[in-house]
Every structure is written in C-alpha cells, then in structure tokens.
C-alpha cells in the first residue's frame, strides 16, 4: 500500500494501522533526507500550503513550516492575531478567501474542537489538523509513536504511561488512539480532577500513584500543565502538583528499570520534570522534535500525492 | 512484482539473456569499469533503487571477488521524491531507502540501473545526487538499453545489451538473489 485511506488528517481516530505504518515508513525516508547535506526534495514544487494558526504555537508551526519547505512547497502563513478574524469574519469565509488564491493543503490549529472536521466538509482542500482545542493533535501522536519505535524497536506490547493534565490535552487523546491501535498498553496518571470522567472506556487504565505508574511502564510521556486553559483551580498549588506528579532524578533512580522520558513541549522545568531529568540520556524530547519534521513531511507528502494533476 | 495485477494474462515470456550470457556480460561490464576507473579510488558506484541495486551489488561482488579490487564505494539512491510523475500516476510509488554515507564532491560517479527506457529515472537521479555534492562527472551503466524509446536526451556509457522492444512489452531482469537464476526476459501482455 502506498496511499492513505483518508483524504485529510483530522485525527488518529480516523486512521487505520496500515496508514500509520505507511506514514512511518515514509517518515523514515524523510528522516534520511533531512540529515543530508542538502535537506530538500522537489516533490511538492507545485503545491501551495496555507498554515492557519488560530491559536498560538511555536514548535508545531515551525515544524510544519520546515517540513513544507523541505518538500519545496510554496507556503503562506496566517495567524489569527493579525487577521480579519478579529473583525468578525467566519472560519469558512476566511478559508475560502485563502483558497481562492489556489491553495491545495491547509494546516490548521484552532481553539475549537472539530474545526478541522467542519472545514473538511465545506472547503475544497486537504486539511491537516495541527491541534483542535482539547480534541486531537494527530501529528504529535504520530511523532511520539515514531520516536518510541525508534528507541524501543516497536510500539506493540509496550507499556506507556501518560502523566499530567489529560483533561485539557489533545496530545493525550491522540496518543491514546495511536498507541492502542498499534497494540500498546496505556495508563494515565495525574490529579483526578484532570482525568476526564469516562476516559477508561477507551481501553486505558488509571493510576493515581506516580511511583506505581512509573514502575509499571516502559515509557513515560509527560504532559505540560496547561495553566492557560484552566478556568478554575484543578489542584491546590503548583508546588503540590510537583510533589505528587513531578518527575525528578531520585524518583527515576529508585525504579528497577530504566524508562524512556518523553514530553511534547514546552516543558515547565521544575514542575512536571526537573532539568536533570529533561536533559538526561533517558529523555528523547529532542529526538521527538527532530522526528516531528520527518513525520509532518510524510503526512503532507502522502496527502499531496492524492491531489491529481491530470 | 512490477507487472500490475489487473493484467490477467501474460501471453509470452521469451528469454533475452540466459545465465551464461549474463555471466559474460557482467564480467565484460566489470572489465570496462576497471579500464576507465582503475583502482576506483576516485569513483563511487550508485545503484538506483529499487532494481538497480541488485545489479550494483552483483557488479561489486564480481569486482571484489574476481578482480580483487578493494575499497569500492557503493551507494543506493532512491529517486521517488525527485520523480517528474508525482501526482500523475494512478498507483503511487512507495519510496525505497537511500544509503549514501559519503560526499560525492569531485568524485567520478557511476549510476547503475538494470533497464534504461524513457530516461526519466536517470533524469531524476541526476537531480537527486546533487543533494550529496557536486560530482566531477557522472556516467551511466545499464544492463539493458531499450533503444528508440527515450523521452530525454540520455544515453548509457556502458551497456550490457541493446534491444528493440515494442511499447507494450516489458523487460524483466531476474537475479539469482531474489529469483531462481540470472535471466533477462521480454514479457508481452495479451492485448484484447
């Protein structure tokens, strides 16, 4: 198989295992490309991509932008703070205006869940979801699994614990779908107030004790506490959160085996991870960032491939 | 297999080169390479993915074992991302791996592929190799040259056998590593 079963990347939920395998296989080739002296291929010379960021982002936007440039696509960038959205323009109007400039692919981050799905039904372009509210962030989950695979050989059968603010995290949901689809076991750990009520119905388990969760797992994917999304207090203080759910060197050293530490970034150093853990050999945080470009190149390449030129 | 599955009947498969002819041709090509590149110090052989790689591996084996040439640099080059038919094909092509762990700056590069047909793969390879430096010169070695079928002004520097094959026929190169024995066949599909 050399073609995705979907026309847009809206979420991991819509993907099949074969799609993930194809994306990974393609990403491996692109990873080799981005380590060459000349890190560029001409495949997407005649494709135009619009990066629409209705919500702040640094690394995801840069990663997408770099991936698109490495594929030789023409790109336009848009961020909500400088646009007519502020003047009251609707999403469809904004996007249709952009599409009339002959854009083929839209990469969109939006604060509302389902914005990508909504757009895919109303406009004539391939949509890549770069994060929609607290729903999905598929490319992050793909690069996380790709990094686990690279480090541990495979994802199947591995035990992964996702720690922290699950409630506000699109990374958590996409990771749960991706890891379960690939045959991994997933456990969640964090303050009960930040664990969605029915999340275990997806087939994951919950553990309140960080120490027990770390003893169980092969990989700990540590999430950022998203203060900006918290309208009420979910835990008494940051200090208490750190004491109960922060990972430090002593805790890691007390475990029987060496586990892999991941974090989607940006890290609140000293809150969910101490610096000596974030910068340790066990941490693959910077590998995740490198793999992000390769994964995004693969996703965009495979979607562009479906746009017929004939 | 590269013969698409929807082609139900294969009408004829005639042998163009048998094992013995292949042996002679491969050794001749190896000798021609030695004639031009002597000790291969400044030369890099590049097998073009996917099928040129079998051929390149075999040639290197002959150069090493039968002609005792050491230190041959061999790379594999995938051209998928450089093809000019991206988004023009019904069946997308899956990429293969590229394995070039050296800079080709100021080296003599020899592209190795099994069949030269339209010349478009070689055109893509010429672009792709630029990501690894600026070679001093580039030569092309092919096992089968399908003449009168070129779309681009590209000709081989070394060729095993030149054939005239009509458009509906395909040239199939089999290697003992992945098939039973070394053989080159011309396969024609039934036209209804």
pLDDT at position A1, please? 62
Mean pLDDT of the residues in chain B: 89
Cβ atoms within 10 Å of B98's Cβ, excluding its own: 21
- Asked if residue A82 and residue A119 are part of one domain, the reply reads yes
- Asked if residue A20 and residue A125 are part of one domain, the reply reads yes
Q: Is the pLDDT of residue B191 over 60?
A: no
CATH code for position A225: 3.40.50.1370
Residue segments in chain A with a per-residue pLDDT below the cut of 50: none
The answer to the question of residue A27 being in a domain is yes
- Asked if residue A161 and residue A44 are part of one domain, the reply reads no
Residues of B in contact with A43 (CB under 8 A): 81-83, 86
Q: E strand or H helix at B57, and its extent?
A: helix B52-65
The answer to the question of residue A182 being in a domain is yes
pLDDT at position B1, please? 43
Gap between the Cα atoms of B127 and A269, Å rounded: 45
pLDDT at position A218, please? 97
Q: Is the pLDDT of residue B49 over 50?
A: yes
| pLDDT tens, residue by residue, A241-287 | 999 999 999 999 999 999 999 999 899 999 999 999 999 999 999 99
pLDDT at position B10, please? 54
- Asked if residue A188 and residue A143 are part of one domain, the reply reads yes
pLDDT, average across residues B94-123:
93
pLDDT at position B12, please? 79
Q: B127, A307: Cβ pair inside 8 Å?
A: no
- State the count of interchain CB pairs (< 8 A) between A and B: 58
Domain encompassing residue A25:
12-136+290-304
Q: Is the pLDDT of residue B2 over 70?
A: no
- In chain B, the largest separation of any two C-alpha atoms, in whole Å, equals 54
- Asked if residue A155 and residue A91 are part of one domain, the reply reads no
B85–chain A Cβ distance below 8 A for any pair? no
- Asked if residue A170 and residue A39 are part of one domain, the reply reads no
pTM score, two decimals? 0.88
- Asked if residue A168 and residue A40 are part of one domain, the reply reads no
Distance of CA B112 to the CA centre of its chain: 4
- Asked if residue A115 and residue A30 are part of one domain, the reply reads yes
The answer to the question of residue A2 being in a domain is no
How many domains does one find in chain A?
2
Domain encompassing residue B110:
25-156
- Torsion over CA of A136, A75, A37 and B100, rounded to 10 degrees? 60
How many domains does one find in chain B?
1
Dihedral of alpha carbons A80, A81, A82, A84, sign: positive
The answer to the question of residue B72 being in a domain is yes
Q: Is the pLDDT of residue B192 over 50?
A: no
Is there a contact between A40 and B130 (Cβ–Cβ < 8 Å)?
no
Gap between the Cα atoms of B135 and B132, Å rounded: 9
Residues of A in contact with B130 (CB under 8 A): 38
Q: Is the pLDDT of residue B67 over 60?
A: yes
Residues of A in contact with B96 (CB under 8 A): 29
A 19-78 → B contacts, CB under 8 A: 22, 25-26, 28-29, 32-33, 36-43, 71
Name the minimum distance, in Å, from the CA of A53 to any CA of chain B: 27
The answer to the question of residue A264 being in a domain is yes
Residues of A in contact with B94 (CB under 8 A): 1-2, 22, 25-26
Is the ipTM here above 0.85? Answer: no
Burial class (CB in 10 A: 0-12, 13-18, 19+), A307: middle
């Amino acid at each position: 198989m050399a073609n995705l079963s979907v026309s847009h990347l809206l979420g991991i939920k819509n993907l099949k295992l074969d799609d993930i395998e194809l994306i990974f296989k393609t990403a491996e080739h692109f990873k080799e490309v981005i380590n060459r002296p000349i890190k560029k291929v001409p495949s997407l010379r005649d494709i135009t991509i619009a990066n629409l960021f209705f919500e702040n982002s640094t690394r995801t936007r840069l990663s997408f932008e770099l991936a698109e440039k490495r594929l030789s696509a023409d790109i336009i960038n848009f961020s909500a703070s400088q646009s007519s959205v502020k003047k009251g323009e609707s999403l469809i109007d904004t996007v249709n205006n952009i599409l009339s400039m002959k854009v083929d692919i839209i990469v969109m981050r939006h604060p509302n869940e389902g914005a990508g799905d909504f757009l895919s039904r109303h406009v004539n372009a391939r949509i890549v979801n770069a994060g929609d509210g607290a729903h999905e962030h598929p490319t992050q989950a793909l690069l996380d699994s790709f990094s686990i695979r690279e480090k541990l050989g495979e994802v199947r059968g591995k035990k992964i614990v996702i720690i922290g603010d699950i409630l506000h995290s699109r990374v958590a949901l996409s990771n749960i779908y991706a890891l379960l689809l690939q045959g991994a076991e997933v456990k969640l750990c964090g303050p009960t107030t930040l664990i969605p009520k029915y999340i275990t119905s997806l087939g994951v388990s919950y553990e309140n004790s960080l120490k027990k969760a770390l003893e169980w797992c092969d990989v700990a994917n540590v999430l950022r506490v998203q203060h900006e999304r918290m309208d009420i207090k979910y835990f008494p203080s940051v200090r208490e959160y750190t004491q109960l759910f922060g990972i430090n060197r002593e805790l890691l050293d007390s475990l029987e085996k060496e586990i892999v530490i991941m974090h989607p970034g940006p890290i609140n150093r000293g809150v969910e991870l101490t610096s000596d853990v974030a910068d340790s050999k066990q941490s693959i945080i910077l590998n995740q960032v490198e793999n992000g470009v390769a994964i995004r190149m693969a996703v965009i390449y495979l979607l562009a491939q479906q746009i017929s030129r004939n | 297999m590269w013969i698409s599955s929807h082609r139900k009947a294969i009408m004829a498969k005639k042998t163009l080169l048998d094992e013995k002819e292949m042996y002679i041709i491969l050794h001749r090509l190896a000798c021609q390479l030695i004639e031009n590149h002597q000790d291969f110090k400044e030369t890099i052989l590049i097998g073009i993915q996917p099928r040129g790689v079998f051929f390149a591996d075999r040639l290197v084996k002959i150069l090493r074992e039968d002609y005792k040439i050491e230190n041959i640099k061999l790379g594999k080059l995938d051209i998928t991302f450089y093809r000019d038919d991206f988004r023009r094909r019904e069946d997308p092509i899956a990429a293969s791996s590229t394995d070039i762990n050296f800079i080709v700056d100021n080296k003599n590069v020899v592209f190795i592929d099994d069949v030269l047909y339209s010349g478009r793969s070689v055109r893509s390879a010429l672009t792709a190799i630029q990501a690894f430096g600026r070679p001093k010169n580039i030569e092309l070695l092919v096992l089968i040259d399908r003449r009168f079928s070129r779309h681009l002004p590209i000709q081989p520097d070394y060729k095993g056998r030149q054939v005239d094959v009509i458009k509906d026929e395909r040239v199939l190169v089999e290697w003992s590593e992945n098939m039973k024995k070394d053989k080159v066949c011309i396969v024609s599909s039934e036209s209804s």
